[in-house]
Amino acid sequence: MKSILIKSAEEIKHMRIAGKLAAEVLNMIKKYIINNISTEELDQICHNYIIQKQKSISACLGYNGYPKSICTSVNDVVCHGIPDAKQKLKSGDIINIDISIINNGYYSDTSKMFILGKPSILGQRLCNVAQKSLYLALQIIKPGIPINKIGQTIESYVNKENFSVVKEYCGHGIGKNFHEDPQILHYINNDQNIILKPGMIFTVEPMINAGKPLVKCMKDGWTVKTKDRSLSAQYEHTILVTKNGCEILTFRQEENIKKILIN
């Protein structure tokens, strides 16, 4: 691992602002997630809000050629689902909306699941487990611990619930760049003995499958689905390592966890 940036007080100030804005987009979009709306319409609403209300820009639009402003990953889509006018939401669907914005040169990245209409028991449980796996990881983060304790915490819990963790995609450092060191693996591993330090900022974003962990990228070059077509769920936060725990920079008021965790 090369260069893990420790953010200055000034940079942290900017990252708090960027984080709050990304969280606000998830709050804003909630009321639009209804039967028959297309993922393209959700994209347009978020895009306009980010540009006009937030005076910010989407970090996704144009990123390695990505064509839209948000990712909308429905049911068996694991991540990077491309909003599409032909894709209309229906009761029972589970959808991850992933918001990445740039404000004043600083990035933030957060996602959550929404369930339409009447949730299936499996869909609801999968979303709950994905969110709890993120929260369990956030509750062990503090200076001095090895970074691989994050993946250990997530995968041991998820396996106990009889779901599986996607291995191909990971969390990432974030700041003046979308994706920086370190990589945050969400599964049990030994290859990372990096020790967390105050001032590190990174995402934790476990992708959890109801079936097998394997994934497959579609021909559009972006959309990633479960290979066995089982449901998949993801939650993501951008966090700051503090002197005694962590601070959730993309915290939403509705959440059942504290914004500032003393661990």
Binders of Co ion among residues 235 to 254 (CB under 5 A) are 236
| Residue 100 CB neighbour total at 10 angstroms | 29
Q: Is 236 in the site for ligand MF3 (CB under 6 A)?
A: yes
**How many residues sit close enough to Co ion to count as binding (CB under 5 A)?**
5
The first and second tokens of residue 49, run together, are 């809000």
Rounded CA-CA distance 217/228 in Å is: 13
Binders of ligand MF3 among residues 63 to 92 (CB under 6 A) are 63-64, 66, 71, 80
**Three-state SS for 68?**
coil
183 within 8 A of 114, measured Cβ to Cβ: no
Binders of Co ion among residues 191 to 220 (CB under 5 A) are 203, 205
Rounded CA-CA distance 32/57 in Å is: 21
x/- site string to ligand MF3, residues 165 to 204, per CB under 6 A? ----------------------------------------
Rounded CA-CA distance 121/119 in Å is: 6
Q: Is 76 in the site for Co ion (CB under 5 A)?
A: no
The first and second tokens of residue 215, run together, are 């994934």
Of 33-41, 60-68, 118-126, 249-257: span binding ligand MF3 (CB under 6 A): 60-68
Q: Is 98 in the site for ligand MF3 (CB under 6 A)?
A: yes
Q: Is 180 in the site for Co ion (CB under 5 A)?
A: no
Binders of Co ion among residues 96 to 155 (CB under 5 A) are 98, 109
199 within 8 A of 243, measured Cβ to Cβ: no
